[in-house]
Structure 1
Amino acid sequence: MKVLWAHDHTFYFNDSGKFFSSGKLPYAVWERYLSVFDEITVASRAKKISSETEIENKSLSSGKNVDFIVLPSLSNPVNKLTKKGYIERVLTESIQQADAVIARLPSEIGSEAIEIAKKLNKPFAIEMVACAWDALWNYGNVQGKAYALFATLKTKSQVKDAPFAIYVTKEFLQNRYPNAKGHTEGCSDVEIPETCSTILDKRLNKIETATKPVVLGLIGNLNGKTKGIATALEALAKVQSKLPPFQFRILGGGEIGPWKALAARLGLQEQVYFDGVLQSGEAVFQWLDEVDVYLQPSFQEGLPRATVEAMSRGCPVIGSTAGGIPELIDKRYLHKPGNEKHLARLIEENITNKTWLMEQAKANFLKAGSYTKIHLDQNRQEFWEKFSRFVKEGGLQA
């Protein structure tokens, strides 16, 4: 059987026709679906890599039984008018040749694929990975705010009627985007290696033998405002004089210039470092091992992979109440998105408190254990096996 997977993710491809991802969608992700389907066609956005150096720190997404369809973006009004017809034609042709559709939402391409699947009476499943309202309203421009309500209502309608829906959260997305009568599962798309007690031991020793400067860390794309980088900078500026020497290190791709300018305006130019992009896995874990306190002041999230990764390294975490973050972190150490005053107070009160650091290191490390690959694979596998049987049976039983 053949399945089409649709989302707005931007891949990168070279002259040899190989596709790469900036870390979230390596070939290992497709193997989840290939365990129950024979072939997968990935319909998404993509950019041509102009030099081999651009492949650095990106993961190979191409592999056996995986094909790619490159589609233009539908995330701006001009393309919605000029490109929508082309996307509909390409998706219709591809879905006609597929046995089923898997759409990752929220996304414009995923949403289009669902509507076409319905017209063609093709079985479909939805992967719900974030909140459409939060993503658009907090993106940082008027266009996003104007489109937020429409996109949210459309996403709610599609999830409600889906025969199969899998959520990355346990409660948050299920409550905002309920499914009426289909088969559902709550299973994070985070995959971390099995945790080892030596990781926690090293973290506790690091806390006990603390040296300056204190390192605060954040992982997130620099394009857009959803990761709350500005909130973190404003919070640190408020309490800078009350803190010991510190560094704020940011890992992620995107345009650095505006953030450097903001840091300078806030008097933080000597404390803020932009560490670029690292390949997912061991390189990121090594970076996290140097972080004393991890910050996740996001405006929108599903279940943030970076937070779980930080927890798996024993990092104490201070975060916002966005998305599924409250499912991970003690509510006493959460602030409302954009509330830099509360974040500043949490930072000031806790980052040099060894008792708090020790307690949070242990609690977070333990919590992260429920997000290891071995714990998640079984539930995810059962979900996709049920969907595969549903497809084989002609979509007659959910």
Structure 2
Amino acid sequence: MRVVVTTESRLIRTPDGSVWTSTTADHRFWRRYLSAFDQVRVVARVRDQREPPADRRRVDGEGVEVHAVPYYLGPWQYLRRRHLVRRAVGAAATADDAVILRVPSVLGTLLCAARVRQGLPFAVEVVGDPWDVFAKGVIRHPLRPLLRRRATGRLRRECRAAAAVSYVTESHLQARYPSAPGVPTVAVSSIDLPAEAFVARPRRFVRQVGVVPTIVAVGTLEQMYKGVDTLVLAVAQLAARGVRVRLVHLGEGQYRNRLHRLITEHGVADRVTLAGWVAPGTPLREQLDRADLFVMPSRTEGLPRALIEAMARALPAIGTRVGGIPELLPAADTVLPGDPSALATAIALMLDDPARMDAASARNLARARQFSRETLEPRRNGFYQMVRDAMSRPSSGADPSPPMLRADVPGPARIQT
């Protein structure tokens, strides 16, 4: 049986037909579905380009093919191409295919509506929360409140209609987007770290006179939902309080210039480095190993890979109380999103207490080990087998309302890979 999986990843296709990504969702990622299925078809936006990206990772290959959807970026391009997009998504799966929708997702919603119209079952993997994605301060859009209500209502209906549901969190997303009674569900992250992602032992921290602690943050600058602006303002407040820190941010995107202006305006250009994109694997781990504290000031998250990777390097961490972050960090190590003063205080208190840093290092490393490949792979494979089994019988969920499943004005979707 073939499985058709939707993703919001934007892919590159070169003239030889090869498909590439700059994310961790490469061929190895998609091959995981082959544990229960004979072939994987990835449904994604694809843009043609003469050369693969410099940070290229091959997507297609043995057992994995890509079903290209016309490329668009943002709601206005989507509106101009929506008929082509819908037609392409509708043609992605046949009645004989199993379908797994990685949601929230515009493409996932379109394929869900097609399956509902045909009376065919589907499964979902819930990897993000549109309630947080459309929260105030995350995106700027005049229809933001309406989009928030529509997106969350749509995801609830998709989960209620699914024949099987997987959640990347242990309880957060399950409470907000429950499945129908009796439907098989599982809590399993999309993240599974290889053995080399982990350090052997926790860190030990000692106060060193004259040494400036390094804070590291990781996240895209394509939108402001990672809260890097809040972290920059927190660094400025720390400077005003006489607390010396150095911030290194890893990530790239269209808001880089805006962030650079914020850094300059608040006089912390000598304290903040925008290091740009860093390749996954060894290059990223080397950056994490040079830091003293990891900070995730996000306004929205599913279950953040970057935080788990930092914890696997035994880094103490401060995060915000959104998405699955409170499932990873204790309450004392979290603050509300969008509050530079609270974030600055949390950072200062952590850095000023070596014993607390030691304890956080040990605790974070132990928690990260629960996301090792050997721990999660059997659970994830079990879900895929449940999906294969569920595809052979009608979905037990209630039909979502087709009009509410339309994605006329798409917004950003968090994909956790």
Fold equivalence (TM over 0.5): yes
Does residue 217 of structure 2 align to residue 218 of structure 1?
A: yes
- Equivalent position to 2:103, from 102, 105, 113: 105
Name the structure 1 match of 2:192.
191
Counterparts of 2:133 and 2:47 in 1: how far apart (Å)?
22
Residue of structure 1 in register with 2:257 after alignment: 257
- 1:276-326 superposed Cα distances (whole Å, 9 cap, x missing partner): 222212221111111110001111001101001100100000010010000
* Runs of at least 5 residues in structure 2 that lack an aligned partner in the other structure: 398-417
Q: Which residue of 2 aligns with 1:233?
A: 232
Report the Cα offset of residue 25 of structure 1.
0.5
Matches of 1:387 and 1:29 in 2, distance apart? 18
Q: Secondary structure at the match of 1:96?
A: coil
CA contact (8 A) 2:121 2:395 kept: no
* Structure 1 contact 3–98 (Cα < 8 Å) conserved: no
Q: Distance in 2 between matches of 1:382 and 1:95?
A: 23
Cα RMSD (Å) of the superposition? Answer: 2.2
2:54 is aligned with 1:55: yes
| Structure 1: 5+ residue stretches without partners | none
**More displaced, 99-108 or 43-52?**
43-52
Tell me the alpha carbon deviations over residues 134-192 of structure 1, each in whole angstroms, 9 at most, x when there is no partner: 11234321156141211111111111221111000001100111112211100011111
CA distance in 2, matches of 1:209, 1:283: 27
1:10 to 1:264, Cα distance in 2 relative to 1, 3 A: same
Q: Aligned equivalents of 1:90 and 1:46: distance in 2?
A: 11
Corresponding position: 1:383 with 2:380:
no
- Bigger drift between 84-93 and 23-32 goes to 84-93
For residues 199 and 41 of structure 2, the distance between their equivalents in structure 1, rounded to whole angstroms, comes to: 41
Instruction: Please list, as runs of the form range in 1=range in 2, the aligned pairs for 1:40-189 lying within 5 A after superposition.
Output: 40-52=40-52, 54-56=53-55, 58-72=56-70, 76-96=74-94, 98-137=96-135, 138-143=137-142, 145=144, 146-181=146-181, 182-189=183-190
Indicate the SS of the match to 2:180: coil
C-alpha displacement of 1:274: 1.5
* In 2: Cα distance, 1:61 partner to 1:133 partner: 30
1:292 matched residue in structure 2: 292
Q: Return closer, same or farther for 1:171/1:134 CA change in 2, 3 Å cut-off.
A: same
> Any conservation in 2 of the 1:20–1:55 contact (CA below 8 Å)?
no
Rounded Cα–Cα distance in structure 2 between residues aligned with 1:74 and 1:133? 23
Partner of 2:291, secondary structure, is: coil
Amino acid at match of 1:96: T
Q: Distance in 1 between matches of 2:95 and 2:335?
A: 48
SS of the residue 1:338 aligns to? coil
| C-alpha displacement of 1:365 | 0.6
Structure 1 window deviating more from structure 2 (340-349 vs 169-178): it is 340-349
Structure 1: which amino acid aligns with 2:226?
Answer: K
The residue matched to 2:276 in structure 1 has which SS? coil
Q: How far, CA to CA, are the matches of 2:386 and 2:95 in structure 1? A: 21
Give the aligned residue type for 2:92.
S
Separation of aligned partners in 1, 2:79 and 2:23 = 31
Contact 2:163 2:395 in 1 (8 A): no
What fraction of aligned residue pairs are identical, expressed as a percent?
25
Counterpart of 2:415 in structure 1 is none
C-alpha separation in 2, matches of 1:147 and 1:277: 30
Cα gap change, 1:180/1:73 in structure 2, threshold over 3 Å: closer, same or farther? farther
Residue 215 of structure 1, CA deviation: 0.7
Report the TM-score, using the length of structure 1 for normalisation: 0.92
CA distance in 2, matches of 1:139, 1:98: 40
Shift of 1:387: 1.1
Distance in 2 (alpha carbons) for counterparts of 1:335 and 1:196 = 27
Cα distance, 1:162–1:117 mapped onto 2, change above 3 Å: same
2-structure distance, mates of 1:60, 1:190:
19
Please tell me whether the aligned partners of residues 101 and 122 of structure 1 are also in contact (alpha carbons under 8 angstroms).
Answer: no
Aligned length, in residue pairs: 392
CA apart distance, 1:343: 0.7
C-alpha separation in 2, matches of 1:307 and 1:144: 31
Deviation of the 1:46 alpha carbon = 2.4
How has the CA–CA distance of structure 1 residues 61 and 337 changed in structure 2, closer, same or farther, with 3 Å as cutoff? same
Cα distance in 2 for partners of 1:70, 1:13 equals: 9
Q: Mean alpha-carbon deviation: is it higher for 208-217 or for 10-19?
A: 208-217
